[in-house]
């Protein structure tokens, strides 16, 4: 592994710190843009308005209809809005829903993107887009999808509720965990993945105890950034395949699905990934990485079963069929019986 590998750095400019949203106008000017469309979900309109104030005359429109799993019909409406205002770039503020919409617009128009995340989900650092249509979520990669600038502002995460912070943190941790056993992993990504997991695992209990602590939030956001870099630099396996499948079929909340499935996907792959589990255990200072994850999830008070977030029991069979129809590359072959077993356990929350 050390004597031959490929590492592809992603062409993104990153600003990290507190109060960095105030650099938004400077970054727009640096890119030579003059007509920005600001994207958000309906719940984050106030943040979009703040961005418009910072941009001044460079803000020509807002679109606040971003939706989970990036439905193509929403993208069509946003494209019409971008065309109507003659936007030459987009600013995406929020979590995966808004960031995904910005990517979907960029894929079709090649408009430059500036992303300001408010969660730990990590989509901002990847050239990956997942879109839904007709109950199916498909993913693709490409240079147009990769955002040009990412502004991490710790202050924007201070009001993210503790449980949502935990869910988003586990989402980020899943990116790093899967990168440790990806077929195209390399020593650089493995270092980032292990450090990302260490930072998230260390910070989450502190964030739960004191959500307004900027030091804990900084560590958590740092770990999420590293984990996102891992996701952008390696291929995805069973864990992400299952999350995409369940999200498309049943419209399950993204972060919750990641958090619930992570220990089950690791358990499925455990016989084939001893080195990855060793690294995860070292990052969490634990003999059993999967056990440490389950313990932390319980301490965070997050949902532990797919049935708790809206998946029907009969959906297990549909999910197995969908996952097998177009499987992602995975260290252990994806077979119906063991896959059905872990999904049934994840549905019931009965443990690994």
Domains of the chain, first to last? 13-157 (3.40.50.1970), 162-348 (1.20.1090.10)
pLDDT at residue 11, as a whole number: 76
Spatial separation of the C-alpha atoms in residues 281 and 261, rounded to whole Å: 18
Q: Are 110 and 144 in contact (CB under 8 A)?
A: yes
Residue range 160-218, pLDDT digits in tens: 999 999 999 999 999 999 999 999 999 999 999 999 999 999 999 999 999 999 999 99
Q: Which segments of 5-143 are extended strands (E)?
A: 13-17, 36-39, 59-63, 89-94, 113-117, 128-133, 136-141
The burial class, CB within 10 Å (0-12 / 13-18 / 19+), for 134 is exposed
Bridge partners (DSSP) listed for residue 140:
129
CA distances from 109 to 76, 140, 159, 285, 286 (A): 12, 16, 33, 46, 47
Residue ranges of the chain with pLDDT lower than 50? Answer: 1
pLDDT at residue 2, as a whole number: 57
Distance, C-alpha 228 to centroid of its chain: 7
Give CA angle at 38 (32, 44), nearest 5°. Answer: 145
Residue range 103-144, pLDDT digits in tens: 999 999 999 999 999 999 899 999 999 999 987 888 889 999
Q: Are 177 and 193 in contact (CB under 8 A)?
A: yes
How many other C-beta atoms are found inside a 10 Å radius of the C-beta of residue 46? 8
CA distances from 217 to 22, 94, 158 (A): 19, 16, 7
């Amino acid at each position: 592994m050390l004597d031959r590998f490929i590492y592809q750095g992603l062409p993104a400019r990153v600003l990290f710190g507190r109060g960095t949203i105030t650099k938004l106008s400077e970054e727009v000017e640096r890119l030579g843009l003059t007509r920005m469309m600001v994207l958000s979900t309906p719940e984050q309109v106030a943040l979009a308005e703040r961005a418009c104030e910072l941009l001044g005359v460079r803000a020509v429109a807002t679109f606040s209809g971003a939706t989970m799993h990036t439905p193509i019909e929403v993208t069509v409406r946003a494209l019409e809005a971008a065309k109507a205002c003659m936007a030459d770039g987009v600013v995406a503020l929020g979590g995966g829903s808004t960031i995904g919409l910005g990517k979907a617009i960029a894929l079709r128009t090649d408009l430059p993107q500036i992303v300001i995340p408010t969660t730990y989900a990590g989509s901002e650092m990847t050239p990956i887009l997942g879109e839904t249509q007709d109950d199916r979520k498909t993913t693709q990669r490409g240079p147009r999808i990769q955002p040009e600038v990412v502004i991490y502002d710790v202050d924007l995460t201070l009001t993210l509720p503790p449980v949502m912070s935990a869910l988003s943190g586990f989402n980020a941790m899943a990116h790093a965990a899967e990168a440790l056993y990806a077929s195209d992993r390399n020593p650089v990504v493995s270092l980032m993945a292990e450090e990302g997991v260490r930072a998230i695992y260390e910070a989450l209990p502190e964030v739960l105890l004191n959500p307004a602590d900027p030091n804990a939030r900084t560590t958590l956001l740092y770990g999420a950034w590293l984990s996102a870099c891992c996701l952008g630099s390696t291929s995805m396996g069973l864990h992400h395949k299952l999350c995409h499948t369940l999200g498309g079929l049943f419209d399950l909340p993204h972060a919750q699905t990641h958090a619930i499935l992570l220990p089950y996907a690791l358990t499925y792959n455990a016989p084939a990934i001893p080195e990855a589990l060793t690294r995860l255990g070292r990052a969490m200072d634990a003999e059993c990485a999967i056990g440490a994850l389950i313990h932390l999830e319980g301490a965070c008070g997050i949902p532990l079963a797919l049935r708790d977030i809206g998946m029907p029991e009969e959906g297990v069979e549909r999910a197995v069929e969908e996952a097998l129809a177009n499987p992602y590359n995975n260290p252990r072959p994806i077979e119906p019986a063991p896959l059905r077993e872990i999904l049934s356990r994840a549905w019931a929350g009965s443990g690994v």
